[in-house]
Structure 1
Amino acid sequence: MEEDKGLKKEKKNIPVLPWMRNPVDITTFDQCSVVLLPFIDPRLVAALKNMSITSLFPVQLAVWQETIGPGSFERDLCINSPTGSGKTIAYALPIVQMLSTRAVKCLRALVVLPTRDLALQVKEVFSALAPAVGLSVGLAVGQSSISDEISELIKKPNVEYGICYDPEEFSYELQSAVGILVATPGRLMDHINNTDGFTLEHLSYLVVDETDRLLREAYQSWLPTVIQLTSSSVDGNFPSSADLLPCTYGSLKTIRRMGTERGFKGKAYPRLAKMVLSATLTQDPSKLAQLDLHHPLLLTTGERRYKLPEELKSFKVLCQSKLKPLYLVSLLQSLQGEKSIVFTSSVESTHRLCTLLKFFDNLQIEFKEYSRLQRQSVRSKTLRAFRSGQVQVLISSDAMTRGMDVEGVRNVINYDMPAYIKTFIHRAGRTARAGLSGCCFTLMHKDEVKRFKKMLQKADCNSCPTYSASSEVIESLRSVYSSALEKLRENVESEKFKKSKIRLKSSNVRKEK
């Protein structure tokens, strides 16, 4: 299903919040060598070099200035920066730097992302930085069983028979085994509601990545829950579970202790600092209000809300609707095995297109389906093959690729033209990342050209030449296409029959019970 399906069109004349009228312009920052970065821990310089990072991009330097530098994180940060500009390092680096100076070991930073795949990617970045300064990173995404996750996240006291512990040094309380947690909202709520010892009591930093999507979907009310669990009242006391949340949250085990402020042993601790990020950050006051931001500061790129990567070249491919698969095959063959991602409008379209292409003889292109309908293990295996180059083409719906970073993607192909500029930006942003070049091709009928042009103008993109597919190649594929379509119809009927048998079997099992 397309990411924007079911959404109303963006409202015109939405009031702009006062703090959004005077943003920090990220484009005024130049790249900076990591060794010249003020206050950076030498251990992190070495960790960055191990990641082949020797200098910071403008967004990374801008965030560093507002967190570690003169800004000192006195304000919450809203970061609106193009895809591929380096937003993950932008928040990961200062958080690891700040936590490296804290002696007490507990959960201090929480990073929330909308999908498992994106969370796994962000966790890898933190894991490359945090160990260098003695910090541990946890993952809560449902990739493994919840019991396995609990064993990784919660440190249990080691009590051995016959050993006498000093009661002043030993505590029987369960403690966090990680200082930084990367999580998806659903599994985060599972731990908040059910995991003994899991607490947000000492949380200092909250990152909401891909903010637009996380604000759009409730995910078991994860955001108001986290905000309330990390907010103190005026007098420093925290509400009881009955006052804090509706009765449906009565099992919460992360309620802060009465009579203490957020921190340790009754001592006050600084406010919960927040960073929210997106390539298409919302300006809707009602949505932003959910984040409970503290004197927010907007960091963005110029005056345009929507911005495409600077090194991206966009092309339109005019085609006949009935022959669209042939235009796609012709385009893929002309790209000669370059790493590419093909986007469709839904998971169903993704599956049908992949199935159809499998029936093309001698295609000589390694491609795979990448969809939320697949198991996590299958998606992870596909992604590894794509990263390594064993698969040249990934065919995907929008839901699985927002924020995903795969090195070496040269081309993005919109098999189905996106309905919204936001969708186009997130799709196109899978290429031309980190200053590299890339191309975006959009297949469309001639009647769609006017709407497409109008959509691109929202991102200040006024140049989109036509890419002409080879008519000879298309004609030569017609007979193969007819045969493939027939096989596709047979395959669809077969899959429907299998699904109906499974549903019937499940229904009979329920009746027997």
Structure 2
Amino acid sequence: MQSEINIMASFKHLGVAPEFIQALKELGIKHPSEIQEKAIPVLLKTKTDFIGLAQTGTGKTAAFGLPMLQNIDPKLSHVQTLILAPTRELVQQIKKQLFKFTKYGESKIFVEGVYGGEKIDIQIQNLKRTTHVIVATPGRLNDLLDRKIIDIRKVNTVILDEADEMLSMGFKDALTKILDHTPKSKNTWLFSATIPSGIQQIIEHYMSPQAVRVVINKNELVNANISHTYITTTIDQKQNVILSLLEARPDDRGIIFCRTKAGTKTLTEFLKEEGFSVEALEGDMQQRDREKVMRAFKKGNLQVLISTDVSARGIDVSDLAFVLHHQLPEHIEYYTHRSGRTARAGKTGQSIALILGSELKRIHEMNKELGIKFKEISI
């Protein structure tokens, strides 16, 4: 009983309304994470632009979702909040989480998801209903704006989630077009793991110089609960090293990242022949095949997912013990996104990079730029 009182008091102290606290308790969210603790009071009490710099898996959906929902006026039928996210999976995840948060609310708050891979006619039909919040990928939202299906001229809040991922996926022009459709009086809340130059340009052009900025683990851009290791090997030996790593972790689930679609397919076929429960996730897949793989992985029917960087964007699967880098990513910031698939929601995880001797310099660069300490291990 005492622990329940403490749980409720902690979120109550941040200003979260009782109906949302009840939903949090049911979801097993016992204590505010650091980004929630620092963001929620500001976003509830102040009409402000906001920049939250935090890794994936740190509770950002609740950090922006709870104050956003609490500020919605259900009596108004127009779209009041627009949330932009890089992938279909993340849009669906955010929508699902917001729905759970509103379970005990007296007045219904209507949230719609807008994304590619589903028939646009179905989404158009859904948007004819009262909609307070739209969660969208930039590409599909722009399509609907071009068709004049969506009116976002009255939104009072725009939330950019995983902003750096949206940029790295080539959505900068789409983002600026969308932001130009929204009123200048709105508040923009931007959440990102990193602030590359493209994001800085958006901040300077579309956000107030007085925007509140919160940085979580500012000395560590990668989740502190992740251990970072590397194995020096050769191209010919990589597959055998991966075999040994998986054999040593028969009960652990994880993601293996490859830089190319061809590499993803080749490794998947090899591991299947060796008897491992694996599937690939890559750009040439049909949406239904992608969804089938993701359902199996989320249910625990697959031990390992093998994916390219872009295909894995927005994946949120709990209890992943490791991330394995078949090759180091092309861009250093991609390492942050890859590693953030493990150690989510306060859990621990391991990030293992397979490197060639000539790539040791890149490990030192990531050491310095990301503020992490790599440890060399052997099989």
- State which of 113, 117, 123 in structure 1 corresponds to 2:95: 123
When the two structures are aligned, how many residues end up with a matched partner?
Answer: 370
Deviations 1:33-77, CA, capped at 9 Å, x for gaps: 5553343221111111222112211101111121114xx13x211
Deviation at 1:227, TM superposition (A): 2.5
1:420 is matched with 331
Q: Is the 8 A contact 1:32 1:57 kept in 2?
A: no
1:316 is matched with 230
- From the superposition, tell whether residues 218 and 338 of structure 1 become closer, same or farther in structure 2 (CA, over 3 Å): closer
1:54 is matched with 30
1:138 is matched with 112
- From the superposition, tell whether residues 391 and 217 of structure 1 become closer, same or farther in structure 2 (CA, over 3 Å): closer
Unaligned runs of 5+ in 2: 1-6
1:87 is matched with 60
Q: Is the 8 A contact 2:188 2:207 kept in 1?
A: no
RMSD after superposition:
2.2
Deviation at 1:409, TM superposition (A): 0.3
Deviations 1:142-166, CA, capped at 9 Å, x for gaps: 23211111111113xxxxxxxxxxx
Is 1:300 paired with 2:212?
Answer: no
Is 1:150 paired with 2:124?
Answer: yes
Is 1:106 paired with 2:78?
Answer: yes
Name which of structure 1's ranges 430-439 and 131-140 shifts more when overlaid on structure 2.
Answer: 131-140
Q: For 2:317 and 2:156, locate their aligned partners in 1 and report how far apart those are by CA, in whole Å.
A: 31
2:144 is matched with 191
Q: Is the 8 A contact 2:86 2:314 kept in 1?
A: no
Question: TM-score normalized by structure 2?
Answer: 0.91
Q: For 1:351 and 1:33, locate their aligned partners in 2 and report how far apart those are by CA, in whole Å.
A: 50
Q: For 1:354 and 1:145, locate their aligned partners in 2 and report how far apart those are by CA, in whole Å.
A: 30
Q: Is the 8 A contact 2:164 2:193 kept in 1?
A: no
2:290 is matched with 379
- From the superposition, tell whether residues 291 and 192 of structure 1 become closer, same or farther in structure 2 (CA, over 3 Å): same
Deviation at 1:195, TM superposition (A): 4.4
- State which of 366, 371, 374 in structure 2 corresponds to 1:460: 371
Letter of the structure 1 residue corresponding to residue 119 of structure 2 = S
Q: Is the 8 A contact 1:411 1:440 kept in 2?
A: yes
Secondary structure at the counterpart of residue 370 of structure 2: coil
Secondary structure at the counterpart of residue 337 of structure 2: helix
Deviation at 1:130, TM superposition (A): 3.2
Secondary structure at the counterpart of residue 214 of structure 2: strand
- From the superposition, tell whether residues 215 and 417 of structure 1 become closer, same or farther in structure 2 (CA, over 3 Å): closer
Deviations 1:117-170, CA, capped at 9 Å, x for gaps: 221121211121235331011011023211111111113xxxxxxxxxxxxxxx
Q: For 1:36 and 1:292, locate their aligned partners in 2 and report how far apart those are by CA, in whole Å.
A: 29
Is 1:291 paired with 2:177?
Answer: no
Identical aligned residues as a percent: 25
Secondary structure at the counterpart of residue 126 of structure 1: helix
Q: Is the 8 A contact 1:208 1:275 kept in 2?
A: yes
- From the superposition, tell whether residues 130 and 311 of structure 1 become closer, same or farther in structure 2 (CA, over 3 Å): same
Q: Is the 8 A contact 1:371 1:396 kept in 2?
A: yes
- From the superposition, tell whether residues 415 and 33 of structure 1 become closer, same or farther in structure 2 (CA, over 3 Å): farther
Q: For 2:326 and 2:312, locate their aligned partners in 1 and report how far apart those are by CA, in whole Å.
A: 15
Q: Is the 8 A contact 1:82 1:279 kept in 2?
A: yes
2:4 is matched with none
Structure 1 residues 10-409: aligned runs within 5 Å: 33-69=9-45, 72-73=46-47, 75-99=48-72, 101-133=73-105, 134-155=108-129, 177-196=130-149, 198-216=150-168, 219=171, 221-231=173-183, 271-282=185-196, 285-293=200-208, 295-304=210-219, 307-360=221-274, 363=275, 365-409=276-320
Letter of the structure 2 residue corresponding to residue 379 of structure 1 = R
Letter of the structure 2 residue corresponding to residue 224 of structure 1 = T
Q: For 2:117 and 2:169, locate their aligned partners in 1 and report how far apart those are by CA, in whole Å.
A: 21
- State which of 423, 429, 432 in structure 1 corresponds to 2:343: 432
- From the superposition, tell whether residues 314 and 118 of structure 1 become closer, same or farther in structure 2 (CA, over 3 Å): same
Secondary structure at the counterpart of residue 132 of structure 1: coil
Letter of the structure 1 residue corresponding to residue 192 of structure 2 = S
Secondary structure at the counterpart of residue 341 of structure 2: coil
Letter of the structure 1 residue corresponding to residue 272 of structure 2 = K
Secondary structure at the counterpart of residue 375 of structure 2: coil
Q: For 2:235 and 2:170, locate their aligned partners in 1 and report how far apart those are by CA, in whole Å.
A: 37
Secondary structure at the counterpart of residue 229 of structure 2: strand
Secondary structure at the counterpart of residue 51 of structure 2: strand
Deviation at 1:428, TM superposition (A): 0.9
Structure 1 residues 472-487: aligned runs within 5 Å: none
Deviation at 1:302, TM superposition (A): 4.9
Larger radius of gyration: 1
Q: Is the 8 A contact 2:323 2:342 kept in 1?
A: yes
Letter of the structure 1 residue corresponding to residue 155 of structure 2 = L
Deviations 1:334-358, CA, capped at 9 Å, x for gaps: 1113011100112222122212323
- From the superposition, tell whether residues 414 and 153 of structure 1 become closer, same or farther in structure 2 (CA, over 3 Å): same
Deviation at 1:324, TM superposition (A): 0.9
1:493 is matched with none
Q: For 1:325 and 1:218, locate their aligned partners in 2 and report how far apart those are by CA, in whole Å.
A: 32
Unaligned runs of 5+ in 1: 1-30, 156-176, 233-270, 470-513
Q: Is the 8 A contact 1:150 1:195 kept in 2?
A: no
Q: Is the 8 A contact 2:279 2:306 kept in 1?
A: yes
